[in-house]
């Protein structure tokens, strides 16, 4: 799915790749967090970080919102 999403960002400046953003959003929805505003706290959840294969904070609500607006 991440391969078909247009990502106009300069790739050298990207901290959270499209695949990770899509994975973060889908895993949160599967866990029952359908609202984007939940991600301000979920980005520090270690279980979600593990599901996204990341050891640090995940993307913020603003980054996920921009992904959905593309």
| Cα 1 to Cα 49: distance, rounded to the nearest angstrom | 19
- Of 42, 19, 17, the C-alpha closest to 32 is 42
For the entire predicted model, the pTM comes to 0.77
Q: Using alpha carbons, list the distances in angstroms from residue 12 to 3, 4, 34, 50.
A: 18, 20, 30, 24
Mean pLDDT of 6-30: 76
Q: Are 16 and 59 in contact (CB under 8 A)?
A: yes
Q: What percent of the chain has pLDDT over 90?
A: 31
Question: What is the residue extent of each domain of the chain?
Answer: 2-69
Which tops the pLDDT comparison, 34 or 4?
34
């Amino acid at each position: 799915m991440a391969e078909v999403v247009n990502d106009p960002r300069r790739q050298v400046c990207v901290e959270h790749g499209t695949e990770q953003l899509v994975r973060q959003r889908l895993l949160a929805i599967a866990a029952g967090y359908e609202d984007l505003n939940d991600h301000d706290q979920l980005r520090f959840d270690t279980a979600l970080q593990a599901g996204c294969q990341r050891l640090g904070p995940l993307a913020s609500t603003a980054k996920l919102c921009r992904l959905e607006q593309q």
